Amino acid sequence: MTIENISVNKSFEGWHKQYRHHSNVLNCEMRFAIYLPPQASNGKKVPVLYWLSGLTCSDENFMQKAGALRMAAELGIAIVAPDTSPRGADVADDEGYDLGQGAGFYVNATQAPWNRHYHMYDYVVDELPKLIESMFPVSDKRSIAGHSMGGHGALVIALRNSDAYQSVSAFSPISNPINSPWGKKAFTAYLGRDMSTWSEYDASALMRKATNLVPALVDQGDGDNFLAEQLKPEMLEAAAGVSGYPLALNIREGYDHSYYFISSFIENHLRFHAEHLSK
């Protein structure tokens, strides 16, 4: 696969790089960012943390705002941040911020016109890791994390692919999208009105019946404006109680939905992943 480097920045003795490539899965041009820690410059293959961002975001939000690169350099972890959806003039879109470009929800769309491009699940699970592992000095040890819509995506992907990830974490995830306005809108458009198909992309439904257990860490601010209506962490906690899932859920007093929250606790998440990636 041909990839085009579009930016390079040195950071904490490692390198942050952006690339553009054609995605066969998404049928369009895609962009991703990768941070390679200094250990990767010495011929050593390093493990990878995949970061999935939230609504309206791109590959840039986390890399620029989370303050994660210093700790990634210390721990020797590469970070890969894909875009949040397919994009382009011929890619279906919607006037709302919560559907269409910037709002891929990390599902494989089955409904027209979305099914031509919106296969973010397959892109994150299969196509992107194969590209990363073939083009960069990284190992096949992976963990996954995300925020909001991306937290939903990270949890779902880890729960459905437990053999591929050492650990999973999320900030403010949409924990029960089949019962949230964001989820209902997106799933109706992308997956259709047959709600029986929605549960395969619902972290609470998946965690409730999970048998292969990927250690999970979730942080949620109690000052988050979306907490009660959209995020529903109590549903995830209840599901973990049913299956005995190894979920650590922290409710953080006063914190909101922003990157001020993420940057406050990203070190905890990176150390959590480093511990499991080293096993």
Known catalytic residues are 148, 224, 257
Asked if 36 and 14 count as a contact pair (C-beta separation under 8 A), the reply is yes
Asked if 26 and 50 count as a contact pair (C-beta separation under 8 A), the reply is no
Structure tokens at 171: 């900030």
Tell me the CA distances in angstroms from 97 to 94, 171, 186, 198, 228, one per residue in order: 8, 20, 11, 21, 20
Rounded to an integer, what distance in angstroms lies between the CA atom of residue 199 and that of residue 206? 7
Instruction: For residue 84, give the nearest of 60, 65, 59, 108 by alpha carbon.
Output: 59
Residue with tokens 């109706």: 188
Rounded to an integer, what distance in angstroms lies between the CA atom of residue 186 and that of residue 96? 11
